[in-house]
Amino acid sequence: MAAPRDSQGRPIVVVTGMGIVTSLGAGKADNWARLISGTSGIRAIKRFSTEGLKTKVAGTVDFVPCDPPAAAELAERLAELAAEEAIAESGLGSRGNFPGPLFLAVAPIELEWPQREALAQAAGANAGVTYDDLIRSANTGKFRNIHERFVFGSVGHHLADKFGTQGSPISLSTACASGASAIQLGLEGIRRGEIDAALCVGTDGSVNAESLIRFSLLSALSTQNEPASEASKPFSKNRDGFVMAEGAGALVLESYEHATARGAKILGVLEGCGELADSFHRTRSSPDGKPVIGCMRKALADAGITPDDVDYINAHGTSTPENDKMEAMSTAAVFGERMKTLPISSNKSMIGHTLSAAGAVEAVVTVMTLDHQRIPPTINYKVPDPTIQLDVVPNVARDAKMRHAISNSFGFGGQNVSLVFAREPA
Amino acid sequence: MAEPRRDVVITGIGIVSSLGEGLDAHWRKLEEARPGADSQTYAPCVVHPIVAIDFDKQIPKKGDQRQMEPWQRIGTYAAGLALENAGIKGNAELTSRMDMIVAAGGGERDATVDGAILTGMRSAPSKEDFINERLMSDLRPTLFLAQLSNLLAGNISIVHGVTGSSRTFMGEESSGFDAVRIALQRIQAGQSDITLVGGAHNGERKDMLMLYGAGGYTLKGGYSPVWDRAAQGGGFALGSLGAFLVLESREHAAARGATPIARLAAVLAESARRQDGQITAALDGMWERLAAANKIDEAHAAIISGASGAEPATAEERAFLGHHKALPVRATGSHIGHGPEPQFAMNIALAALALKHGRLFAPVPDPSGMEQPMNGALTQVVVTGVGHWRGEGLALVETAN
């Protein structure tokens, strides 16, 4: 029997395992229950002093032990949790031996203040501290652990070792589209026929003072600190920026042929992916929306479906004034008059913006949405924006009949990726 | 049925390093075998500083240049050189559908701000509050964008209009192997027709000398060729360099009348766990796969090694090279230093350059005897890469026809 192929003659790619951890909790069951009940994971930051900062809230994951307390370390812990859940659900491979490569979306890694301080103290400089002092300390050989923790490849290689993924693990960053890019790389690899399965993970644990200050200095963050749970309000007229958050999402992708041959349960189908970069500006989208419109159209074409086939949009929906306006305009351009009634909701209203993880976290939620035939709401939708004519599934979850859904991810640096999922193979 | 894989050629190269900018400058300096190392400025560390560059030539707007830290400027410049070399610079129809994969580090620090904070926090009543206060007032808002890994790709989109797709791989040397590997596989499979791939590195950075120094990987106490660093305990000299390749399916290149510089036949990457001997085993395994799928003509082949001098990686690579003694070896790290992310793309570029000249460049004067002269025609080059901490890569580059 010929292997099953999609409308373009390529191997069909399915999802056979998923894992998720966010500020709402660990695991699919807890996250789904809280997403459907419209619960916010955003709270006052306790991890570090917010004295002097304009933004004092985030969707931190505080229930996962992390030592040393560094973004790279937490990213690794969160990714482990999500990957463990996804692999267990897929039933693929054996413990420590996953039969496919790792594609990991992870934030750029850098040394943090506690490490710099330790190096400075060890240098014992009397006058002003300079990098020459830090280098002198580093060269003593007493800080070897700092190197391994803070090289960019550390999280990926550690995860590859732990789960026994095959070949060279790819760590990638396409800013806030990273999670979707990791899934895209897995999809492409299976379509090329090189691999039967892939572990695609997006993770982010970077709510620390310096990261928050960087986004704050770009005026990207909400400064509505009270009540914290209402800071993220995508598509609302009074939206005032995104809320930083942490989390991880993991998907086991597999060729349909490989999955059915081993009798695996199929959770969803990854029908297609679109990508288009924007050359307009480093942080702002092209005002005409062309790259985002093109990105969604490429995704639909790649999936072999038309705009009319789409039943739900999992929005990028960051709650920044610019993104939400641009996304509303661009979806209207792609879906036309239907956009007034086509449900589009933002998981970020509850989870916050998990940055490098967001594309993977929201892909997991999109597949759960199709599976449950129920749409998580956009919470905190109290003041409609008259310029945004969308059905954002305001405040309350809703049942709906859905076959195809699209999940959008857009990021700094002109990164745009859209994924198309279906409930079952065509 | 898998479709037959398409042939992939290199049609554009943009390189800049301590040796100069462009193909001709690199060839001249490689032939002269005069490495451009600086043992003074960052003593006891050694670096290979970038040559003076007139960035206006590839990044015309000063406003764009100001938004970039040096590693991004080096990369955006090298990308421009590659597009120019491929004859597609400013060809919006082509660049708008051109794919891009960048191997990047990132995170250049403001050393002055960091130093002032580390000094001031010693006497601050609350260290955390002090850090908040200083960062809020002293960080340039745009520094963040100059640090972000994916903003080298972002800047290439903005300055050169490459927008078909944009992916940034991270992870030191591995990111370089995988960027070229995925770019090649996508074109072979018809997922892309033309891709810009490469990366950039600024080696003149104290924050990186600190990080790599902490791991014990930096060369200290003066320059020596990579094969001759045992007395110094091994180590790499960081190099400032940028390297981009335009990869294209042979049909696509022919259709637009482009002349291939070389053929990229294969790229492999591994992740050995790095217990004793595993690097050598990984390289041997990749060689076996390479040789099984491609005929290697030992009389006309050479190895361009990405050996950095870091140990035990370089010693294990030497053991692997010992299994292929018929092939002359050149380590570019002796010339241009080690730029973890772009080194592999750079070495593929230098392999293509040697193939274009039909011969291998001269050996570096080297008491270890690792590098021997090669007489006769060169038609194939195997490029190696061994990460200082993790990751192993191998590529095969051949004459274009």
The verdict on A161 touching B (C-beta cutoff 8 Å) is yes
Whole-number Å distance between alpha carbons of B102 and B342: 9
- pLDDT computed for residue B1 by the predictor: 38
Q: Which of B122, B151, B216 is facing A144, going by the closest CB pair?
A: B216
Picking from A143, A170, A183, A219 by the largest number of B CB atoms within 10 A of its own CB, the best residue to mutate is A170
* Residues of B in Cβ contact (< 8 Å) with A183: none
* Residues of A in Cβ contact (< 8 Å) with B136: 52-53, 213, 216-217
Say whether both A123 and A220 belong to one domain: no
Q: What are phi and psi of A113, to 5 degrees?
A: -65, -40
* Residues of A in Cβ contact (< 8 Å) with B390: 153, 157
- Of B374, B290, B304, which Cα lies nearest the Cα of B346? B304
Residues of A90-116 as b/e, b for ≥16 C-beta within 10 angstroms?
Answer: bebbeeeebbbbbbbbbbbbbbbbebb
8-state DSSP, B307: -
Nearest CA in chain B to A148: B215
Say whether both A241 and A135 belong to one domain: no
- pLDDT computed for residue A126 by the predictor: 82
Q: Peptide bond preceding A68: is omega within 30 degrees of 0, i.e. cis?
A: yes
Residue A422 lies in a domain: no
Say whether both A207 and A137 belong to one domain: no
The pLDDT of residue A77 is above 60? yes
pLDDT tier at A2 (50, 70, 90 boundaries)? low
The verdict on A168 touching B (C-beta cutoff 8 Å) is yes
Per the model's pLDDT, the better-predicted residue between B367 and B24 turns out to be B24
Identity (one letter) of the amino acid at B15? I
Whole-number Å distance between alpha carbons of A217 and A207: 15
* Residues of A in Cβ contact (< 8 Å) with B172: 151-153
Residues of A346-365 as b/e, b for ≥16 C-beta within 10 angstroms?
Answer: bbbbbbbbbbbbbbbbbbbb
Q: Do B210 and A283 touch (CB under 8 A)?
A: no
Say whether both A406 and A369 belong to one domain: yes
Say yes or no: domain B8-110+142-398 is CATH 3.40.47.10: yes
Give the catalytic positions of A in this structure.
176, 316, 353
The pLDDT of residue A3 is above 80? no
Span B239-266, average pLDDT? 98
The pTM for the full model equals 0.98
Q: Which domain holds residue A117?
A: 113-149
The verdict on A181 touching B (C-beta cutoff 8 Å) is yes
pLDDT tens string B299-332: 999 999 999 999 999 999 999 999 999 999 999 9
Say whether both A26 and A131 belong to one domain: no
- What does the CA dihedral A35, A81, A109, B138 come to, rounded to 10 degrees? 40
The pLDDT of residue A382 is above 50? yes
Residues 386-415 of A with CB under 8 A from B: 411-415
Q: Do B389 and A148 touch (CB under 8 A)?
A: yes
* Residues of A in Cβ contact (< 8 Å) with B100: 277
Instruction: Give the count of beta carbons closer than 10 Å to the beta carbon of residue A325.
Output: 18
pLDDT tens string B173-232: 999 999 999 999 999 999 999 999 999 999 999 999 999 999 999 999 999 999 999 899
Q: Do B166 and A277 touch (CB under 8 A)?
A: yes
Say whether both A336 and A199 belong to one domain: yes
Nearest CA in chain B to A108: B149
Say whether both A121 and A18 belong to one domain: no
B200 - beta bridge partners?
B242
Nearest CA in chain A to B110: A131
Say whether both A223 and A371 belong to one domain: yes
Q: Do A209 and B211 touch (CB under 8 A)?
A: no
Q: Which of B67, B181, B214 is facing A146, going by the closest CB pair?
A: B214
Picking from A173, A215, A284, A409 by the largest number of B CB atoms within 10 A of its own CB, the best residue to mutate is A173
ipTM computed for the complex: 0.98
Domain boundary among A123, A149, A175: A149
Q: Strand ranges (DSSP E) for B22-97? A: 47-48
Span A264-276, average pLDDT? 97
Question: How far does the CA of residue A236 sit from the closest CA of chain B (Å)?
Answer: 27
pLDDT tier at A17 (50, 70, 90 boundaries)? very high
- What does the CA dihedral A137, A139, A141, A144 come to, rounded to 10 degrees? 90
Residue A3 lies in a domain: no
A56 token code pair: 């004092």
Q: Which of B117, B174, B209 is facing A168, going by the closest CB pair?
A: B174
Max CA pair span of chain A: 77
Q: Are A253 and A197 in contact (CB under 8 A)?
A: yes
Span A25-30, average pLDDT? 98
Whole-number Å distance between alpha carbons of B373 and A290: 55
Identity (one letter) of the amino acid at B395? A
Q: Do A135 and B154 touch (CB under 8 A)?
A: no
Span B277-305, average pLDDT? 97
A105: enclosing H helix or E strand: strand A102-106
Q: Do B178 and A170 touch (CB under 8 A)?
A: yes
Distances (CA, A) of B334 to B36, B67, B353, B380, B397: 9, 32, 17, 21, 21
Nearest CA in chain A to B169: A172
pLDDT tier at B108 (50, 70, 90 boundaries)? confident
% of chain A at pLDDT higher than 70? 100
Q: Do A175 and B148 touch (CB under 8 A)?
A: yes
Span A234-252, average pLDDT? 98
* Residues of B in Cβ contact (< 8 Å) with A148: 215, 389
Say whether both A260 and A351 belong to one domain: yes
Q: Do B118 and A116 touch (CB under 8 A)?
A: yes
Domain boundary among A149, A177, A202: A149
3-state secondary structure of A392: coil
Q: Do A138 and B214 touch (CB under 8 A)?
A: yes
Say whether both A349 and A322 belong to one domain: yes
Q: Do B129 and A215 touch (CB under 8 A)?
A: no
Q: What are phi and psi of A200, to 5 degrees?
A: -110, 120
How many helices (H) and strands (E) would you count in chain A?
13, 15
Q: Are A160 and B271 in contact (CB under 8 A)?
A: yes
pLDDT tier at B97 (50, 70, 90 boundaries)? very high
pLDDT tier at B107 (50, 70, 90 boundaries)? confident
**CATH number of the domain encompassing residue A320:** 3.40.47.10
The verdict on A4 touching B (C-beta cutoff 8 Å) is no
Whole-number Å distance between alpha carbons of B161 and B163: 6
Whole-number Å distance between alpha carbons of B288 and B163: 37
* Residues of B in Cβ contact (< 8 Å) with A113: 117, 127, 131
Say whether both A18 and A135 belong to one domain: no
pLDDT tier at A109 (50, 70, 90 boundaries)? very high
The verdict on A288 touching B (C-beta cutoff 8 Å) is no
A43 token code pair: 């709270």
The pLDDT of residue B2 is above 70? no
8-state DSSP, B125: S
Q: Tell me the count of A-B CB pairs closer than 8 A.
A: 257
Residues 213-272 of A with CB under 8 A from B: 213-218
**Residue B119: CB partners within 8 Å, gap ≥ 6?**
A128, A129
User: Domain count of chain A?
Assistant: 2
A109 token code pair: 């890694």
- pLDDT computed for residue B3 by the predictor: 57
Say whether both A31 and A73 belong to one domain: yes
Domain boundary among A149, A177, A203: A149
A367: enclosing H helix or E strand: helix A358-372
* Residues of A in Cβ contact (< 8 Å) with B4: none
Over its C-alpha atoms, chain A yields an Rg (Å, rounded) of: 21
* Residues of A in Cβ contact (< 8 Å) with B133: 51-52
- pLDDT computed for residue B36 by the predictor: 81
Q: Peptide bond preceding B312: is omega within 30 degrees of 0, i.e. cis?
A: yes
